[in-house]
Structure 1
Amino acid sequence: MQLETYISDLLYRYDCVIVPQFGAFLTHRVSAKLNETTHSFYPPKKTLSFNEQLQTNDGLLANYIAEVEKVPYLVAVEKIAKQVKSIKSYLIESETIELNNIGDLILNKEGNINFEPSNHINYLTDAFGLSPFKTAQVTREVYKETVEAVEKVIPIAITPEKRKSRPYLKYAAIGLIFLTAGGFVASNYYGKQVDTHNQIAQEEANEQLDAKVQEATFVINSPLPAATLQVEKKIGNYHIVAGAFRVEANSDKKVQQLKDKGFKARKIGMNRYGLHEVVYSSHTDRIEALNALRAIKSTQNRDAWLLVKALD
C-alpha cells in the first residue's frame, strides 16, 4: 500500500491529514508573491508542514483507504499501522523516508522527526493551472532620462508676461467655478425634490394597500387553517461513531442509552456492510468534531471514531 498516495489525495481537500500513531501533515495557504531580485511572480499555494504531536486517529485517512480499496475500516487501520511501523524502523536506522509529492522525513539527533516539504506540487485547487513566471525589469530611469533630454531641447514654460496678456483666462476660470457651484446646488435641490416626491408616493401607495387589505379581510368568510413548516437544521458531515449493529433494535437501544447520558445520539442509516450506524453526535466544524472525539475516547469509548460523510 502506497500510503503517501492517499495522504496526497486528501491534502487537496483537507488542511490536516493525521497518520495514526505517527503525526499529521498540515497545509497553510500562502498568498501570491513577487521576488524583486529575480523579477519572478509566484501564484498562491498551500505550504506543507508536519506535526509529530497530532497522532490521534480521526478516521479520515482510514475511511478514505477503506473506501478506495473496498475493505473494512478495521482492515484499513491495520494497514496504516503496519506502514507506520515500517517507516519508524527505517527512521531509527537513520534513513531518509521519501514520500512522493509530499516531502522527506528524517530522524534528528534528539529523536524527533524533521520534515522537508516537496516544492514541485501545489495543493491549492484555486491555483490550478497557474505556474511561476519571470518578467523583464521595467527600466523607468531610462525613460525618465529620455524625457528630460527632450525637455531641454523643447522647453515649455508660461512666463508672467504671457499670463498678463491673457486676462480672459482668469475670468473664464472664475466663471467655471461659479457654474460648477451653481450646478452642484441645483443638483442637490433637484435630488431633494425627487426624494420628497418618492416619499409622498410611497406613503400614498401604502395607504391604498392598507385599505385593500382591510377590505379583503372582510370579504374572506372561511380562511384556511394556518400551516406550520418545520425545516430541519443542517447537522454537519462530521459524525462521531459509537457503533454499528446488525439488528436495528439493538441500534435503537444504543441510541436511547447515549441520550440518557446526555449525548445528541441518533442513527445515520446503514453502511455498505448492512449495519445500522449509531453516532454520539454530528458536527459541521471539523475541529469541533475532533475535540468532541478526543473527549469521548478518553471518558466513554476508546473505539469511537470520526466518520466524514454527507447525509442525504
Structure 2
Amino acid sequence: MTLAKYISDLLYRYECVIIPNFGGFITNTISAKVNHFTHTFYAPSKELTFNSHLKNNDGLLANYISTCQNISYEKALSFIDQELDDWKTTLAYDELELENIGSLNLTKEGIMVFEPNSSVNYLTSSFGLSSYVSPAVKRITYKEKVRELETIAPVIPTEENKRKTPAFIKYAATAAIIFALGTVGWNQYNKIEYNNLVAKTELEQQRVDKSIQEATFVIENPLPAITLNVTKETQNYHIVAGAFREPANAEKKLQQLITKGFKARILGVNKWNLTQVSYGSFDSRNEAINTLNKIKRTESKDAWLLVKAY
C-alpha cells in the first residue's frame, strides 16, 4: 500500500493531512453548484488544496500507517521518509502523480504546484452522487405555441357568459368577506388586550424600582479591607513535543516527559482536533528558545515553539 493511498483514506475523515517535512493536503467543503452554460448540476464536495508550509509532524499519518501495517510508530516514520525520497527524486525531473489525490510539479523557482484530481469527492455525505445534466426549459417556445393556438382558435366572450355568474362563486365571495371582517375584529381585540397587559406590567415594575431606590441597607461591623498582591503569570511560549489524535496517546507522552524531569503539560486541543503536549512553558522568549535548541540536540528534532496564551 503506497503512501498516497494512506493519505487518500485519511482525507475522507479529516480536513488536513500533513506529510512530515513535505507539506499538507487540506480539504474545504463547497456547496452544490450548477453550470448555466452546460446545464450541469454538481453535488456538494470537498475542494482539495496543498500547502507546502505545513511540515510539522502532527502524528496523524504516522499513527494511521502504524495501525494499518501493525508496526511501531518509528517504523511508520521510516516508511514515510522512504516514500518521500522517491517523491523528491521524481519531482526533480518529472511530474509526481498521486493516486486519487492529484499531481505535483516543481517549478524552476522551487515552488510546488498542485493540480487536484477532480473525479474524486472526499465529502462522505455526497457519496454516490454524480453530476447531472438537465435539458434547458424552453419557456419562450411554449409561449409562442400558445400565441399560435390563440390565433387559430381565439376565445371570444359572449354576452351570455358575461351576464351569468355561477351561484357558488357568489356564495364563496360573500363568505370570504365575512371571514375577513371577523379576522380583522379579532386581531384588533387581541392587540388592545396585549397593550393593556404591557401597561400594567410597566406600572408594577416602576413600583418595584421605586421601593428598591428608597431602601437603605446598613451593615454593622464591616470587615476590614484586604489587599492582595498577585503576580500574573504569562507563560505564552510553549515547546511542543507532539500533537495526538487520541487523548490516551497524549497522556502517555505527558507521563514520559514528566518521568524525564520536564515540566510537561497538555496545552489542549488545536483547530485540527489534535491534543498538544509541551515539554514546558516559559514567560521569556529567550529562555524558551534556548531550551528548545537544547531539546532539539538531546531529545527530538521535531520539537517546535508555539506562541499562544492559554
Q: Normalized against structure 2, the TM-score is what?
A: 0.62
Shift of 1:123: 0.7
Cα separation, partners in 2 of 1:175 and 1:291, compared to 1, 3 Å: farther
Give the structure 2 partner of residue 153 of structure 1: 152
Contact 2:6–2:61 (CA under 8 A) maintained in structure 1: yes
Cα separation, 2, equivalents of 1:101 and 1:3: 12
Contact 2:245–2:274 (CA under 8 A) maintained in structure 1: no
1:283 corresponds to 2:282:
no
For 2:74, the aligned partner's letter is L
Give the structure 2 partner of residue 200 of structure 1: none
Contact 2:15–2:272 (CA under 8 A) maintained in structure 1: no
Give the structure 2 partner of residue 120 of structure 1: 119
Cα separation, partners in 2 of 1:170 and 1:243, compared to 1, 3 Å: closer
Cα separation, 2, equivalents of 1:45 and 1:79: 31
Cα separation, partners in 2 of 1:136 and 1:291, compared to 1, 3 Å: farther
Give the structure 2 partner of residue 86 of structure 1: 86
Cα separation, partners in 2 of 1:151 and 1:291, compared to 1, 3 Å: farther
Cα separation, 1, equivalents of 2:122 and 2:262: 43
Give the structure 1 partner of residue 109 of structure 2: 110
For 1:61, the aligned partner's letter is L
After superposition, where does 1:145-294 map in structure 2 within 5 Å? 145-156=144-155, 175=174, 178-185=177-184, 187-188=186-187, 239=247, 241=250, 244=253, 253=259, 258=263, 265=265, 280-283=266-269, 285-286=271-272, 289=275
Cα separation, partners in 2 of 1:174 and 1:67, compared to 1, 3 Å: closer
Give the structure 1 partner of residue 237 of structure 2: none
Cα separation, 2, equivalents of 1:252 and 1:21: 27
1:8 corresponds to 2:35:
no
Cα separation, partners in 2 of 1:173 and 1:65, compared to 1, 3 Å: closer
For 2:110, the aligned partner's letter is G
Contact 2:267–2:276 (CA under 8 A) maintained in structure 1: no
Contact 1:238–1:284 (CA under 8 A) maintained in structure 2: no
For 1:7, the aligned partner's letter is I
Cα separation, partners in 2 of 1:107 and 1:285, compared to 1, 3 Å: closer
1:63 corresponds to 2:63:
yes
Give the structure 2 partner of residue 98 of structure 1: 97
Deviations 1:242-272 (A, max 9, x none): 8659xx8x77756x953xxxx6x3xxxxxxx
Shift of 1:137: 2.3
Contact 1:49–1:115 (CA under 8 A) maintained in structure 2: yes
Contact 2:59–2:245 (CA under 8 A) maintained in structure 1: no
After superposition, where does 1:293-308 map in structure 2 within 5 Å? 303=300
Cα separation, partners in 2 of 1:124 and 1:106, compared to 1, 3 Å: same
Cα separation, partners in 2 of 1:282 and 1:238, compared to 1, 3 Å: farther
For 2:129, the aligned partner's letter is L
Cα separation, partners in 2 of 1:291 and 1:116, compared to 1, 3 Å: farther
Cα separation, partners in 2 of 1:159 and 1:289, compared to 1, 3 Å: farther
Q: CA RMSD in A?
A: 4.3
Deviations 1:219-250 (A, max 9, x none): xxxxxxxxxxxxxxxxx9665848659xx8x7
Contact 2:4–2:98 (CA under 8 A) maintained in structure 1: yes
Aligned partner of residue 286 in structure 1, secondary structure: coil
Give the structure 2 partner of residue 133 of structure 1: 132
Aligned partner of residue 29 in structure 2, secondary structure: strand
Deviations 1:177-229 (A, max 9, x none): 6413333146548979xx9xxxxxxxxxxxxxxxxxxxxxxxxxxxxxxxxxx
For 1:27, the aligned partner's letter is T
Cα separation, 2, equivalents of 1:180 and 1:159: 33
Shift of 1:75: 1.6
Cα separation, 2, equivalents of 1:39 and 1:88: 42
Cα separation, 1, equivalents of 2:252 and 2:182: 77
For 1:283, the aligned partner's letter is V
Q: Which runs of 5+ in 1 are unaligned?
A: 196-235, 266-279, 306-312
Contact 2:17–2:26 (CA under 8 A) maintained in structure 1: yes
Shift of 1:133: 2.0
Cα separation, partners in 2 of 1:72 and 1:44, compared to 1, 3 Å: same
Q: Normalized against structure 1, the TM-score is what?
A: 0.62
Cα separation, 2, equivalents of 1:170 and 1:133: 46
Aligned partner of residue 136 in structure 1, secondary structure: coil
